[in-house]
Amino acid sequence: MFRFTYNTLVYGHEPIERGIERLARFGYDGVEFIGEPGQLDAAAITRALSEHGIRASSVISIYTPERDLVSSDAAVRGRALDYLRGNVDFARAIGAEVVTFTPTACMKITPEAPLEQEWEWAVQAARAAGSHAAEQGITIAVEPWNRYETYLINRAEQAIRFVDEVGAPNVGVMLDTFHMSIEERDLAGAVRASGERLVHVHLADSNRAAPGQGHLDFAPILRAIADIGYDGWISYELLPAAGDVWGVLSGAGAPEFLDEYTGASIAHTKRVLEELGVR
Amino acid sequence: MSRTFGLSTFTLASPFSERDAEAFDRTAGFGYELIEVCVEDPALLSGEWLAQQAERTGLAVGICGAFGPGRDVSSPEPATREAALGYLRSCVDLAAATGSPHVAGPMYAVTGQTRMLDAEDRTAQFRRAADALAEAADYAAGRGVRLAIEALNRFETDLVNTVEQGLALCEATGAENVGLLLDTFHMNIEEKSLGDAVRLAGDRVFHVQVSENDRGTPGSGHVPWDEFFQALDDIDYDGQLVVESFLPTVREIARAVSLWRPVAPSMDALARDGLAFLREHGGGRAS
């Protein structure tokens, strides 16, 4: 029932074909790409996916100060929306189903405008992106981030309220267990509350390493994901233990995120699912 | 074995000053035995006033430092290091005057520094921190005060994130009176196992702050409390357990700790419910 994918962001600068090959080798069903259409060759990716018998699952949007959907500068908001639409087009080109959405620049932790205004800008952006995505059969996944990475949507309950306000059938909630481990009192409860709105899942342990490397109990979380009838992707977004994640990835890199965590992540989840009797 | 339950002034008033005598009354009124005074500005507090308030309300006092801009003993700038050491000495003086067994906090660097450094620069920073803390420890030892170093999560510091790193820093100071402050909020993010981390720290655990995974009321979230308290029993910890959270209404604090929403119905509720939780679960074997 579950389909597995892995965020290739942590593979760093290696050629994307190697990442695709690795994920196929470890039994993944899909490949998650970062949203940098200008740096990635959709045709080459499609060829490599086909060669290794694996598909594209999702595109992770990278939000920077220049791609801030709630910037006080209307020009920045406009470019951010263009960027998001570009990710949708890229997703369509490589056959991915999901594009992620977070309204603020990553690591921006103070609003520039009143929160109600920023929320409204974010809702409008999600509706516009959702409309563009609907034409291409793509789903937009609204992801809460922990308090150190954003201030606007930190918790599932906020994402649920946001998605309900957007009111588009292809705009849903995404949950990431690393962020949840900081922000949610009851992780499985947050999954259940999201219910049929849940459209994408990132698993990572409490320390953002591969599941099993930290102290999260994944059994109740996976039980909840199964119980709500979730049929989307189970992805792993693992990142280095640093405030400056980009610094690590652009520097010496993080070798444990290659074969070691790629293999450990899917094996851990499959073991938990087996113990739960979930297929 | 008997542990002392305390409340941080961060939940009561900020910056804490001699205008906040009422905080002592409120803390005692909730039923706590100790008030942890966070020294944001030493100019706003005297040891004499703190001791008077403590005697008036029957509370013990703990001293905790705040390491905002400029307070960086690991700085490459000698003047910055010296200023930070001066601040630490004034915290030690307050501890000595109030009978606090320690000065606690992330005193090894300015909080909020999360940079990529190469191994050489990182080692140099670590060395500067160790040397400065050795100096502060020497000053503290002469006054019967210990230093309790707090590991912070990756988003708040790049120098000491885990118990293991904290122990290495203690070791590098070469001082007997330098140990660790454990804070469950940070441990939830950084430690593979909270219980193992506590046991690894062992008798170097000088102080403990309890906070939920979202900084809310202890017991309301998913911190593995049973495992944590069991490990404190295993190491025969008989020091303080201090409930810490932050007033989201104070802008500077909200920004410093990235707290963007209320994490409890009110700070009074957090203080009361936190104490009830500690009494039920955190008292140790004898309770």
Q: What is the CATH number of the domain that holds B10?
A: 3.20.20.150
Which range (A52-56, A94-98, A244-248, B71-75) has the least confidence? A244-248
Interface test with A, best of B164, B214, B261 (most A CBs within 10 A): B214
Mean of pLDDT over chain A = 96
What confidence score (pLDDT) does residue A137 get? 98
Q: What percent of chain B has pLDDT over 90?
A: 88
Residue B286 lies in a domain: no
| Average pLDDT taken over every residue of chain B | 95
> Is the pTM of the predicted complex or chain greater than 0.90?
yes
Neighbours of A15 (CB within 10 A): 11
How confident is residue A252, by pLDDT bands cut at 50, 70 and 90?
A: low
Mean pLDDT of the region B122-144: 97
What pLDDT, on a 0 to 100 scale, did the predictor assign at position B278?
A: 98
Q: What percent of chain A has pLDDT over 70?
A: 99
Whether the CA torsion B107, B110, B115, B118 is positive or negative: it is negative
ipTM over 0.90: yes
pLDDT (tens digit, 9 = 90+) per residue, B39-62?
A: 999 999 999 999 999 999 999 999
Identified catalytic residue from A143, A149, A183, A184: A143
Q: How far apart are CA B96 and CA B103, in angstroms?
A: 9
Identify whether A184 is a catalytic site residue: no
Residue A120 to residue A122: CA distance in whole angstroms: 5
**Sheet of A233-236: strands edge to edge?**
A3-6, A233-236, A198-203, A171-176, A139-142, A98-101, A55-60, A30-34
Which amino acid belongs to residue A212?
G
Nearest partner of A217 among B200, B193, B163, judged by Cα = B193
User: Is residue B191 one of the residues assigned to a domain?
Assistant: yes
In this prediction, residue A247 carries a pLDDT of: 75
pLDDT of A236 over the 90 cut = yes
Q: Is residue A248 predicted with pLDDT exceeding 80?
A: no
The total number of residues shown for chain B amounts to 287
Predicted confidence band of residue B286 (pLDDT cuts 50, 70, 90): low
Domain assignment present for B287: no
B244 within domain boundaries: yes
B246 pLDDT exceeds 90? no
Note whether B191 contacts A187, CB cutoff 8 Å. no
DSSP-based three-state secondary structure for B201: helix
Give contacts of A180 with chain B, Cβ < 8 Å. Answer: none
Question: Angle CA(B34)–CA(B38)–CA(B39) in degrees, nearest 5?
Answer: 130
User: Does B114 reside within a domain?
Assistant: yes
Q: Which of A32, A118, A149, A237 is catalytic?
A: A237
Residue B230 has pLDDT above 60, yes or no: yes
The closest alpha carbon to B61, from B49, B71, B74, belongs to B49
Q: Are A266 and A272 in contact (CB under 8 A)?
A: no
- Which range (A137-141, A247-251, B135-139, B180-184) has the least confidence? A247-251
Task: Name the nearest CA neighbour of B73 among B155, B142, B160, B144.
Answer: B160
pLDDT of residue B60: 98
Count of structural domains within chain B: 1
Burial of A187 (0-12, 13-18, 19+ CB in 10 A): buried
CB contact under 8 A, B192 and A213: yes
Residues of chain B with a CB closer than 8 angstroms to some CB in chain A: 114-116, 154-156, 158, 161, 188-194, 212-214, 216, 220-222, 224, 255, 258-261
Cis peptide leading into residue A111 (ω within 30°): no
Q: Do the Cβ atoms of B92 and B136 come closer than 8 Å? A: yes
Backbone angles phi, psi at B76, to 5 degrees: -70, -15
Q: Output the CA–CA distances (angstroms, integers) from residue B29 to B10, B11, B23, in the order listed.
A: 17, 14, 10
Does pLDDT of B277 surpass 80?
yes
Residue B39 lies in a domain: yes
Q: In degrees rounded to 5, what are phi and psi of residue B206?
A: -95, -20
B140-168 average pLDDT score: 97
Q: Which two tokens stand for residue A230?
A: 């979730």
* pLDDT at residue B186 in the model: 98
- Nearest-CA distance B88 → chain A (Å): 26
Tell me if A182 and B213 make a contact (CB, 8 A cut-off). yes
Domain containing residue B235? 4-281
Give B-chain residues touching A110 at CB under 8 angstroms.
Answer: 255
Q: Which residues of A touch B192 (CB under 8 A)?
A: 207, 213-215
B45 φ/ψ angles, rounded to the nearest 5 degrees: -140, 145
Residues belonging to chain A with any Cβ–Cβ distance to chain B shorter than 8 Å: 109-110, 146-149, 151, 154, 181-187, 206-207, 213-215, 241-244, 247-248, 251
- Structure-block tokens of residue A130: 């959702």
- Cβ distance A215 to B212 less than 8 Å, yes or no, reads no
Q: Are B88 and B75 in contact (CB under 8 A)?
A: no
pLDDT on residue B287: 46
Answer yes or no: is B236 within a domain: yes
**Active-site annotation holds for A143:** yes
Q: DSSP secondary-structure letter at B113? A: B
- Asked if the model's pLDDT at residue A33 lies above 70, the reply is yes
Residue at B56 is within a domain = yes
C-alpha–C-alpha distance, residues B114 and B6, integer Å: 30
